[in-house]
Structures are given as C-alpha cells and as structure tokens.
Structure 1
Amino acid sequence: MNTKTAMQKKQLRFSAFILMIALIIVLLTDSVFYHFTKSMLTSQLEERMQLIADNVAVSIKLSKTGQSYVENLIGVNLRTASVAAQYRLNPDIEKVSNEELVQLSKELMVDHITLMKRSGDDIIGYKSSDPKEINLSTKGWSHDWFKAFNQLLDTTNANVASGQTLPHYWSGPLNTSSSNPQYVDKWGYYYDGTTNYIIDPYVHDTYYNEYQEKTGVDSVIQEMVHNNTNNGAKEISIFNPPIFLKQQEQYKQEGYTWFADREILFGSYTMKDDRDREYVQEVMSTKQRKQFISTLDGKQYLKMFIPLQLDFPVVVGLTADYEQVQASLRQQQTSLLILIVSTAIVAFIIVFLSIRLINRNKEAAVESIQEVYIENIDSLFRSMKEQRHDFNNHVATISSLVYFKQYEELQKYTNEFIGETTALNDIIQINVPALCAIVQSKVIQAVERKINFQHEVENLNRLQLGALKATDMVKIVSNLVDNAFEAVSHSGKASDLEVKLIGRIENKQLVFEVINNGLPIPENMQNKIFEAGFTTKASSGKNSGLGLHIVKKIVDTYHGSIHVKSDDDQTRFQVAIPV
C-alpha cells in the first residue's frame, strides 16, 4: 500500500469519525428538542384546559346568581299560587279531595299541589294531586326543611339558612324530588293560620332547564366544546362528587346540598376511563389539579381534573385531544429530520469536496517537491557522470603535475576536486527528500558561486511532515540560504565566503539556523528586514525584498518564532517551528 492511498484512507476514516460525532450530537439535540417541545406543547394544552376550567367556574358562579334570581321569581309565583289556592280550597283538609287538587293545579299552572299537616312528631303530605306525595314523611329531610315547616305551622316566619323566606311563606332551593327522583323541583310552602294545613304548590325544573340551556353552564360548555375547536377540549364534565364517589350520606352529614342525585351536574360524560374515580377522589382530597394521558378508541387524550369550591364541592373534568400535540410533534420532527438530512448531505458534500481540494493541493505540493527533488537528483547524477567522464582528464592532469613536480598546484587542484566530490556525496546522507532536494540545489549553487556551504542536519528521521508543511520547510530553508548567499556575495570579500545550514529537532521543535560571515545587519534595521519589499542590498533587479517576509509569514502561520543576531563576525538566523 503506497503512502498516498494510506493517507487517503486515514483522511476518510477521520472524516467518517467527524461525521459520526456530528450525527450523535444531532441525535442528542433532536432528542432534547423532542422532549422539550413535547413538554412545552403539553404545558400549553394544560394551560388552555385550566383557562377553560376557570371560565366554567365563572359560568357556574354567574349561573348560580342567575339561578337564584330565577328561583326567587319562581318562588314568588308559587306564593301567589298558594294564596290563590287558599281562596279556592276549604280550610279543613278533610274536606278537600285529591281530585280537586288536580284540577286546581291545572288552573294555577303548577305541576302539583300537596297539602301537608302534622302527624305526631312528623309532618306528612296528606292530600295531593300527585299520589306519590300522599303520606310522604318529611321528618328525615334536611334539618332546614323540616325546621321551616314547623316554624310555619307555629305561625312564625321561617328562619333557616337556606331557601327563600316571605311572609307566611318559605320556598326551598331546587332539589331532587323525594317522591320522584327523576325530577328536580321547586317547592313553595304557605301557611297563615287560616287553614289546618300547609299549602305546597311545586313545579318541575322545566323553566329552570330552559334558562340553563340558553344562558347557563351547559350553554357555555356547549360553546367551548362544539363551537370553539381551537382550544382542544373534546368533553367537559362537572362531577358531583357525593354521587359520583358514592359518598352521599357523608356529604349530607356535613350539611351540603346539591341539585340532584346525578353524577354529572353539567356537561356530558361519555369519554370514560377506569381511573376517573380515583383521580376525582385524589383531587377532592388534595385540592390540587391532577391529569393523566388516556387512550380511548385508539386515540390519546389528556384528562384533567380541577377542584372548584363553590357553595358545594365540584370537580371540573376536561378531556382534551392529545393527538394535536402528537401531530404537532410529528410535524416538527419531520421538518427537523428533513433539515438534518439536508444539512448532513450538504455537510458530506462540503467535506468530500474539501478533502478532494486538500488532496489536490497536497498532491500538487508533493508533485512540486518531487519535481524539485528529481531535478536536483538528475543534476547530481549528471555531475557524477561528468566527474566520471572527466576522470581520465583529472588523472592525466594530476599525473602531469606530479611529473613536472608542481606540487603546490597539485595540492590546490586535488583539494578543489575532492571538496566538490565530498559535497556531492554528503548531500545524499540527508534523509528528508524535500530538504535533500533543496540542499542539493544550494550545494550546486554554492560551488558555482565559490561559496563554502556547509550543512549539518541531525535526527530528522523522527520528523513527521505533511506535504504542505514540507513545502513550507523548503520555502524557509531556500529563502534563508539564498539570503545568506546574497549577504556573503555582496560582502566585498574575494574568498572565505562561508554559509552554514544547521537543522535539528529540539524540545519538540524543528529548528533551522543559517549562519553567514557577510556584512552585519545594523541593529536599527533588524526589525525591518521582515517587511515586504525591504532589502539592504543595492537594487539589481534580482532582489525583491520578499524572501525574509515570506519566511516570517510561514513561521507565524505555524505559531513559530524567528530570531536574528548579527555582529562583525557573523549573522545568524534561527527559525523554530512546533512539530
């Protein structure tokens, strides 16, 4: 497996790892978003249900105010009917027949008339247009009712906490009929001492129900459930806890009265769950709102129970469509999923294209380095071939110099010949191809320019370089050495032109030092030499003043450092780059 393939696989693995991490983050974000959104939507639904319950509570209170007004009107009418009946009936109860009461009820437009009298310690219905009222005992009725009857018969006005009191008259609140529990009736009781019985005309709740249907709680509930579908309410039930929880006797002992012996006072109760009684009981005990998610006919609903403490305890039961929350969640999840998939596809394309671009750049850089390397190796081989080709000439020259005993010339000739050969051999020992190529190039230039160029590159076999970093390293070394060559070439010296390159790994840094014995750089210019276009050399058309600026820019890119130290003996540039 070649290096290029291995690098590509490594990059693909890295890209896959990044995408996997991104996917995990997105999934976690999606999960948090889902639960947050679900909680928020559920909370909003609960708030709407609470608002409905508040409206229902207000409606019940207003309804009770209206009910009291309507009840009082009915009570006044019943008193009028009682007075009219008194003028029509014999004051002796024994001389009044049930048939007569039936006829009189029709004429006075009341449902029934009952005549009541004392029987021992009880007060009973003695004569009545309704056979079920005859001999009906009232002793076991609520203490307000029985107490009011006794007060009337004692020719005093009724003085009890409930009901409507008028002269010689008392009317109890709407309540379930004892003789016929299917009705909720309104009774009136009149006695002024001129008869031996209490006149008791009463009517069913027909008028009251008509009032409730048009202006009462049921009409409000009807509007909320059927005509205002945006609030999510599917059913509203006003529970009558004593009956719903089978605790009527307990509530009677506590002095509560209620409209009727029915479980639901207002609204409807068709969407039932086995847990309803448990939650109504808990709400009554804790006086706190409770709710749960119920599945009815394959659909989810939020069932909420809210306590209301009016003149009597009630619980508002609300059933809301939870499918709206689920549908909203699914819609948002779908939108989010589309966004995630779209983003992932775009991200994958961007990553793929970026990898392609990076690989192309790296390949171009590698090819550039390889071209330089191959070019310089070819130059090295050509030099070696030239040396081999000229070997016989060198041998002949050396032989002639020996023959003529020109030993001084012989020494000079052999030193030059050996130095060139040694330089070419040493360059092969550098184990970084990019650096080897550039140093090879600089060696050849140094030989041509009569510069003594030395290089000491140590332990670079531990250096791991990418293609781009290798390119930057070539630029650094090339520009520093070229700058040193220029410095010694313009020093005015005829000989002893020396440039030295040192490379090493030190404290996890790649360090290059380039030393030359050219003219020193004035201290006031040492901070300016890295500026673009600045040069200390006379304008020759070759010096652009960009070499050291390029070096400084590359070093800053890798968060490295560059220092210059110059005196009469030598000028030293040191570059350190973290690796």
Structure 2
Amino acid sequence: MNSPHKPKPKIQLRSSLFILMISLIIVLLTDSVFYTYTKRMLTSELETKLELIADNVAISIKHSKTGEKYVENLIGQNLRTASLAAQYRLDPDIEKVTNEELIVLSKELMVDHITLMKRSGDDIIGYKSTEPKEINMSTKNWSRDWFKAFNQLLNTKETNVKSGQALPYYWSGPMNTSMSDPQYVDKWGYYYDGRTNYILDPYVHDTFFRDYQREIGVDAVIDEMIHGYTDHGAKEIAVFNPPIFLGQQEQYKKEGYTWFTDREILFGSYTMKDTRDQDMVQSVLKSKQTQQLLSNIDGKTYLKMFIPLQLDIPVVIGLTADYEKVQNSIEHQQMNLLLLIGTTAIIAFILVILSIRFINRNREATAESVQEVYVDHIGSLFRSMKEQRHDFNNHVATIHSLVHLKEFDELSRYTSEIIGETTALNDIIQINVPALSAIVQSKVIGAVERKITFEHEVANLKDVPLGAVKATDLVRIISNLIDNAFDAVSLSKKEGDKQVRLAGFVKGSSLIFQVINNGEPIPNDMLQRIFEPGFSTKNPDDHHAGLGLSIVKQLVDKYVGTVQVNSTESETTFTISIPI
C-alpha cells in the first residue's frame, strides 16, 4: 500500500529576497557609517601627522634655541673680551676719550660700534660713541631689565635680572632691535669694574646670528617641512608669540620697525589667516590642550591645528594643512565602496539562489535518507509480523497436537517461547520515535536469533526536539552500540543468560542513552583506545573492522556530547549524553 505523498519542505524565494533586501539596507547603512568613520579616521590621521610635525618643530625649536643661546652667549663673551681690550686702550676718564679714537678702536677689535655710557642725573646716557645716534641717548625709559642692569653695574654689584647674560662686572642684553637704528637687530655687551667712570658698550649687528638661524635654525626646519621633497602635509607653520598676538602686551615700535622681541610670529609665517585664530590661541593657552578647526580660505578648505609649547614663555604652534586631500580621498573610497557593494549585491543574489537550491536538495536528500532508514526498519518489523502470522497456524497445530498427546511440559516450554517473541514486539510500539522504534525492533529480532536477552526502556521522547539529521545520527549511534554489545556477549565465556539492556531518558538539558551488556570486561589498558579507528578488542581473525565505536565518538562529538565507558566484572556500560 502506497503512503500519500507529502510535499517536501522548501525555502521560499520570496522570503529569501526579503532577507536579501534587508541585507542591502544594512549594507547601505553600513556604508554611511563607513563614510563617517573613514572621514574621522582620515581627519585623525591628518591631525596625527600635524602633531608629529609640531613635535618636530618643537624639538627643532628647543635644539635651535639651545644652539642659538650658545652662539649668542659666545658673542657676548667675545664682547666682554673686546671690552677688556678697549678698557686697556682707553683713558679711564670719559672726557679724555674722543669719538674718533673709538672708531679706530672698533675697527681694530672687529666690532660694529663702541659706546661709552655714564650717569646723568637720574638717567644713564650714551656720552661718547662711534654711532652719532647713540650720543646723548637716554636709557631710563628702556623696557624690561636694561636700565636696572646698568644701575647695578655702576654700583659695582653683580647684575641680577631675569634676561641676558651675566658675567663678572659684565652684562650682555638679549639680542634685540637697535634703539638708535631700528633697521638692525644687535647684540650689546656692557662692562664696568669701577676703574673707569663709564660703562664700556661694544656691540655688533646680527648678521652672523641671523645667517645661522636661516641656515640651520628653526626657520630652516620649517621651510624644509613645507617646501622639502617630502610632503609632510603642512601648508603653513607659525609659532605665535601669545602676549603680542593676543594684544595682551603692546608692541614696541620705532620708525616703523617692530621690536625683534615683540614680533607676533616668532618663527615661520602667518599668511593663511582666520578670524577665529586668536580665540583658538587663547583657548589653547588656557586649556593647554590641542585645538583644531576647519577654515575656508580663498575658496579652499583647510584644517588648522593649534598646539601648546613651552619655551622661555608659553607659545602656540599653528599648523595649516590642505583638507581637500582628505575629502578627495573619502570620495574616492566611497566610489570604490559603492562599486564593491553593487558587485557584492549581484554576487550575493546569485549565491542566495544557488544556496536555496542546494539547501532544498540537501533537505530532500536528508528526508529521503531518514525515510529510507524508517521504511527499511519498519519493513523489517512488518516482515517479522507477517512471518509470525504465517507461522501462527503451525503454532496452533503444534499446540493442538501437544495437548492431544498430553505433553504438558513440552507445551509449557513451547508457549513460553512464543509469548516472549510476542511481548518483545508489543514493547516496541511504545517507543514513539519512528526511526528509533524501527532500529530497536530490528535489534530485537537479531537478539532473538542470537539467543540474547535484549531489554529496552526508552522514556517518552515526543517533546525532545530531534531534527531529521539528528534522528538519523542517533540511530547510527545506538545501532553501533547495540551491535558492539551483542558481539561482546556473544563472544563471552561467562555462563548464564547473555543480556543486553538499552535505556533512554532526558536528564536536565541532555538526552541520555545507556547500552549495558554482561559480557567480558574491557581491560583497563584498552579503555583509552577503544574509540580509535581500526582498534578492536575482538579476535582479529574474526575480521572486525574496529570502526563502530570510532563512528559513535565522531557523531557524539559532532553534537558536542560526551561518551563514557564503565567496565566491571559484572557488566560494561556505555553512556551517551547529547545536549538538546
């Protein structure tokens, strides 16, 4: 009798396309996130690049400042030496020294000018000099430490001011714009030891010093970073002098020249300006944290970064970089990504269609495999039942004859065998997993044929989620264990009944099966090897492949289960635990 055909489960194309559309939406959202992330990442890379430039500039400034300080102090020492030589040549009375004499002496000492200074009331003035503009020049209104240092020298005290270079009976002011001729930046030396009535003041222009700065100083490093062979990313670098740049200190100017120490930009250049620059410098000084902004200058977008730096005073390094390179890079990556997404979507659509077909075929093959197992073992069950029905008439005839002959003992033995077989068949019906029921039934028949007492107790597995594949593998596991147990009791030399017992139940979140036999115990030295492929405890002459238990171990591991063996003189137990 043919069973009614049931449609095989298939994955519907419509639901798959819906999943594909959802996936595409997710990909597009991911693309938006990628755009934002990439923009931040590239901006961060540019910021890091600028920070590295700032670090290099900071290191260059500190090294150059050290070098410049050394050179400036060396010039100051030379000016002190020139002062001592001049004192040796000049009369100690300022009234007896002429300007012409000073001109000749300055040339001999290789200095640009020499000025003699003396007190005049509450002032200290230039009295004699090779530079006419220095004569009668007042110094009492000079800013910062100058006038204080002059008074300390004339009082024959050690100079004690924050700036400049102090040596015995000598003080050299920091290099600065010349008061008498603002077109020059000069280095002065002031000497007075009490043996004259004037301060000796030889000084030189900054030509040598400025050449040193241009060739190996900070400006040279900045120029290399901007215009060198390697593109460091910066278009302009400026080291701001905060007190002047922020208007906190008024610039000193004379004849249109700004004082060297009062310049807004200490190093570099500042042509790419933004109205927010002052606020950024102020914020950096206050927070001591790096700040940045995007600025539009002449129609182009730039990233401006402001970084704090501590020199003699706190300063701020301003770096300007072309941000359009970042934007162009982002757009290029975005186009590549969209192209990749489009290509991926097409490939994904094709793969989904192929996967649907493959999964459906695989499910069909699995269902057919399970159906074959089920039909095969159920077929065995029905064949057995047909055979017993076929033999029923013979059994009845035999019973009738034994009754007629009054062979009651033989009748009792004969009917006991018939009842045992019938009971075994009835018990099988209580196992409500078809594939499992079929395999147990086939093993019952095998046990009867091999004169083995086979008992089984399987709890109701109706609510256990056994999929088609899992049920098939479970049949393979139990079949191999029972066959192994049958072989063990058949080969046993023990007297008495040969017994095999199957138990199945659910414990917690695990499905447990136990197969127990009363055959010979497994030696301890073999327990660790019984699951190895090809290993067998049976006689090698019997041609056993030794694969049954290794297959069991592989299938149990597949479902992250465990298999345990306990073997004693009385019985051997295999326990299988599979998560459900």
- TM-score (ref. length: structure 2): 0.59
Q: Does 1:296 align with 2:301?
A: no
- Counterpart of 1:477 in structure 2 is 478
Q: 1:492 to 1:397 in 2, by over 3 A?
A: farther
CA separation of 1:428 and 1:217: change in aligned 2, threshold 3 A: closer
Summarize the Cα distance change of 1:72–1:249 in structure 2 as closer, same or farther, 3 Å threshold. Answer: farther
> Quick one: distance in 1 between partners of 2:566 and 2:14?
39
- Residues 197-216 of structure 1 show CA distances to partners (whole Å, capped at 9, x for unaligned) of xxx99999889877865676
Q: Give the SS at the match of 1:460.
A: coil
In structure 2, the CA distance between the partners of 1:423 and 1:274, relative to structure 1 (3 Å rule), is same
Q: Is the 8 A contact 2:177 2:260 kept in 1?
A: yes
Contact 1:479 1:547 in 2 (8 A): yes
Q: Secondary structure at the match of 1:501?
A: strand
Shift, 1:439, TM fit: 1.8
Cα separation, 2, equivalents of 1:436 and 1:512: 14
SS of equivalent residue, structure 2 residue 465: coil
Q: 1:123-522, aligned counterparts within 5 Å?
A: 140-141=141-142, 176=177, 218-219=219-220, 221-227=222-228, 229-248=230-249, 259=260, 262-278=263-279, 290-297=289-296, 298-309=301-312, 313=313, 315=315, 317-321=317-321, 323=323, 367-385=368-386, 390=390, 394=393, 398=397, 401=400, 405-406=404-405, 408=407, 411=411, 420-449=421-450, 453-486=454-487, 499-505=499-505, 507-508=507-508, 510-514=511-515, 521-522=519-520
Q: Report the alpha carbon displacement of residue 426 of structure 1 after superposing the two structures with TM.
A: 3.7
CA contact (8 A) 1:455 1:501 kept: yes
Among candidates 559, 565, 568, match of residue 562 of structure 2: 559
SS at match of 1:51: helix
| Cα deviation digits, residues 297-330 of structure 1 (max 9, x gap) | 2221322242321xxx573634153749958996
Q: Percent identity?
A: 47
Q: How far off its partner does 1:482 sit? A: 3.5
Partners of 2:121 and 2:403 in 1: CA distance: 173
Which amino acid is 2:309 matched to? I
TM superposition shift of 1:43:
5.0
Counterpart of 2:575? 575
Quickly say closer, same or farther: Cα 1:8–1:367, change in 2 above 3 A.
Answer: farther
CA distance in 2, matches of 1:148, 1:515: 109
Q: Aligned pair in 2 of structure 1 residues 290, 320: CA closer, same or farther (>3 Å)?
A: farther
Residues 63 and 217 of structure 1 are in contact (CA less than 8 Å); yes or no, is this contact kept in structure 2?
no
> Which AA in structure 1 matches 2:374?
Y
* 8 Å contact kept, 1:237–1:264: yes
TM superposition shift of 1:501? 3.5
Whether the 8 Å contact between 2:280 and 2:306 is mirrored in structure 1 is no
Q: Does 1:55 align with 2:60?
A: yes
Encode CA deviations 1:519-548: one digit per residue, 9 max, x unaligned.
x6455747648475545569555x555556
Q: Radius of gyration: which is bigger?
A: 1
What is the SS of the residue equivalent to 2:443?
A: helix
Displacement of 1:63: 4.4
Please name the residue that 2:194 is paired with: none
- Provide the rounded CA distance (Å) in 2 between the counterparts of 1:12 and 1:448: 56
Give 1:34 deviation, angstroms. Answer: 9.8
Q: List per-residue Cα deviations over 1:36-92 (Å, max 9, x = no partner).
A: 997787456424313312323443454466567789999999xxxxxxxxxxxxx9x
In the alignment, the residues of structure 2 paired with residue 490 and residue 122 of structure 1 have an alpha-carbon distance, to the nearest angstrom, of: 129
Cα distance, 1:268 vs structure 2: 1.9
Structure 2 gaps, min length 5? 1-5, 83-95, 97-111, 166-170, 191-200
Relative distance call for 1:68 and 1:278 in structure 2 (3 A) is farther
Tell me if the contact between 1:503 and 1:513 (Cα under 8 Å) persists in the aligned partners: yes
How far, CA to CA, are the matches of 1:490 and 1:216 in structure 2? 98
1:379 aligns to what SS in structure 2?
Answer: helix
Structure 2 counterparts to residues 91-130 of structure 1, below 5 A: none
Partner of 2:51: 46
Distance in 2 separating the partners of 1:442 and 1:522: 21
C-alpha RMSD over aligned residues: 7.4
Question: What is the identity, as a one-letter code, of the residue corresponding to 1:440?
Answer: Q
Deviations along 1:484-532, one digit per CA (max 9) or x if unpaired, are 54566667999x966453323153454545566xxx6455747648475
For structure 1, list consecutive stretches of 5 or more residues without a partner in the other structure: 78-90, 92-110, 165-169, 190-199
Structure-2 separation of matches of 1:4 and 1:499: 42
Match of 2:311, SS state, is strand
TM-score scaled to structure 1, two decimals?
A: 0.59
Structure 2 CA distance for partners of 1:550 and 1:65, relative to 1, 3 Å: closer
State the Cα distance separating 1:267 from its structure 2 match.
3.1
Distance 1:450 1:408, change over 3 A: farther
